[in-house]
Amino acid sequence: MIAKGKDYKGKAILQWTSDVRIAPKRGRILDRNGKELAISANVFRVDLDLNSLRETIKKNKLTMNDIAPELATILGMKSSDVLPILTRTNSKGKPIGAVILKRRIDKTTSDKINDYSKKLNLRGIVITGDTQRYYPNNNFLASVLGHTNSDGNGLTGVELYYNKFLSGVPGIKLSETDRKSEDLPYTISDYTKPIDGKDVVLTIDETIQYFCEKAASQAMIDNKAAAVTIIAMNPKNGEILGMANKPDYNPNNPWDLSKSYDENQKVWRNRAVSDTFEPGSIFKVFTAIAAMKEGVVKETDKFTCTGSTVVAGRRIKCWKTTGHGVESFVDIIKNSCNVGFMELGRRLGPEKLNKYISLFGFGKKTGIDLNGEALGIIRKTKNMTAQDVATTSFGQSNTLSCVQYLTGLNAIANGGKLITPHVMKEIVDYNDTNTKKVLQTYSNYNVRTIIDDKTTAKLRSYLEQVVESGGGKKAYIAGYHIAGKTGTAQKISTTGPGYAPQKYVSSFAGMAPAADPQITILVNIDEPDPSNYYGGQIATVVGKQVFDDIFNYLSIKSDASNAEVNKSLLKDIIVPELRGLKKADAEKLLKEDNLKSKTSSDGDIITDMTPKPGYTVKEGTDIILRTDALKEESNVVVVPNIIGDSTETASKVLNSLGLKAKFIGSGLVSEQSIEGTEVKKGTTITLHLDVITD
């Protein structure tokens, strides 16, 4: 007793006590306005105190084989699965004392188990409260929220990253029993109440997330894309307001049994954080600010683009293979001129270029509070050749993630501060009177001033011109002063060196209003239809939709009139050729194109029209149809802009206007011999084609 008393006491307590762990309720995940994104529903679990159960079935002259089938039927399990649980042993072959039979059963099932237990006078079948994770919006925000495993612990996303706050502390029910496992009336029973998990409030705004999800889903369909990612952020504090990845999954049922474990993991992955890509021309924003800050370029500098330039013996093309001609610094940004940016790279050199790449956080983790963040790949300065400097300057060679890119762009939007992006706003708890108590607020901002506000303001004014009249004009909304940049990059091959044929990433990054941005967004379209992949054509349209929704929701005011704003939101339509058609047929075609018609005379055949076929107008524009005598100008059409179109689309548009197409090269239209002017039908338009990587 003196030497071994402590050990014997411990063994004795195990013999005469029975304990069952009681699961706490997992905390909720809420959006910034308190909307529930993940909750725990109250259900029940069946625990087995096997010591008590073995005693009572022996007393009642039963066996585990006798009770297994009925328990299985009530619980919707197989008897062959229940019996091994009832007879489980430890590693030494000795019967174990306690085990979980089934979790997350409803009240009806728990009542049936209780009735069955009473009917056979069984002791040791313990019903306690349990929680089941539930995501009320199904796929909504899935890759950010993540999901839990069968034990209720976070497996991915916010559920994993903030698991220690969400999970809570289990309770314990401890009671003394006699040798027959019956409760003793005079014993000390102990009950420790479980401590429920805390609520995690996100920076996500449910409404802005909806805008991002809606736009991403539509972009996937419209562009037959493999995947689409859209992020919306507050550039002033690094808060992520929306982060959508399509395709996604339903965290209520995360396991697709037709897929392997690795395939399921791939579906769960948050591509905005975990995947990297060559950014293409959206990276030119950072080359431009590096050149401005280092004083190697002035606004009045002139650049001559002939369509390509030779770097260390290799000819590297501009996306416009016929060249942009003589351009200013602002022009090379507006036109996204590779030749101009290669010259900026040459002036900077590898040391200074990589200095700013590092300064903006590329090649390093942002520190976002989500698991699986990718580093990206940045060429080391000592290994960079002149060709590497050239291609890096316009967005090739290096890789980065969507969240890395937008974090860097935020520094240009907010006046030069690099701020850690994050999805957690605060951790909260509620007392017995339902009073909210904030336990922790996000504080790991790690704010670093990397550029002065004067330089960033100047660059924002240049980027505003990109959207007003440059490559990003399809994102233009009157009076909102969106500053942005488009990009089109080939995807790196996964099977060997070089790039994968017919696979591209199209992007648009923007901020608004340009003078003092309140919102930044990034649209990333992975592997769009190779016949229409140009970022200025497809990613800008998505960005425009997201910006418009957010402007209205946040009541950000335009300095244009309502009529001007509404007009800029309408789609551009190329006026079709209607001359020679019957009036009814012409009116039908206009209606299909969302155009209106006005007839100036009473005839039945259209002889002339204003504006002429080929002009680009907004939806809802009135097209005046004439049915009087045929005039000479009825043979005249306008050549529309078809830059970025495939040969099939370009041929269809020109042929419908009575024009001929002559193609040079292969790929998409990168240059056209005539644009925006009136010509006679039958005129041949020369179209230069190239694999556009902008």
Distance between CA atoms of residues 546 and 544, nearest Å:
6
Distance between CA atoms of residues 153 and 161, nearest Å:
11
Residue 231 backbone dihedrals phi, psi, to 5 degrees: -125, 140
* Two structure tokens written together for 279: 């950014």
For residue 377, the 8-state DSSP code is B
The set of catalytic residues is: 281
Instruction: Look at the block and give the residue holding tokens 């299909």.
Output: 592
* Two structure tokens written together for 129: 């409260």
* Two structure tokens written together for 618: 């907004």
* Two structure tokens written together for 664: 């040079």
Contact 303, 426 (CB under 8 A): no
One-letter amino acid for residue 49 of the chain: D
Distance between CA atoms of residues 312 and 36, nearest Å:
58
Distance between CA atoms of residues 146 and 263, nearest Å:
16
Contact 512, 556 (CB under 8 A): yes
CA distances from 446 to 158, 439, 539 (A): 20, 20, 31
Please report the DSSP string for 582-615 in residue order. Answer: BHHHHHHHHHHTT-EEEE-SS-SB--EEESPTT-
β-pairing, 622-626 vs 596-599, is parallel
Return the sign of the alpha-carbon dihedral for residues 251, 257, 258, 263: positive
Single out the residue of 213, 265, 219, 214 nearest to residue 243, CA to CA: 213
Instruction: Look at the block and give the residue holding tokens 């998505």.
Output: 542
* Two structure tokens written together for 199: 């609520």
Residue environment code for 399-434, b if the CB has 16+ CB neighbours within 10 A, otherwise e: bbbbbbbbbbbbbbbbbbbbbbbbbbbbbbbeeeee
Single out the residue of 564, 566, 571, 409 nearest to residue 474, CA to CA: 571
Contact 663, 647 (CB under 8 A): yes
* Two structure tokens written together for 353: 């270029």
Q: Mark residue 138 as left, alpha or beta (left: phi above 0; alpha: psi -120 to 50; beta: remaining).
A: left
Distance between CA atoms of residues 188 and 183, nearest Å:
10
Cα end-to-end distance, the chain, whole Å = 84
Contact 185, 197 (CB under 8 A): no
Distance between CA atoms of residues 634 and 608, nearest Å:
6
3-state secondary structure of 421: coil
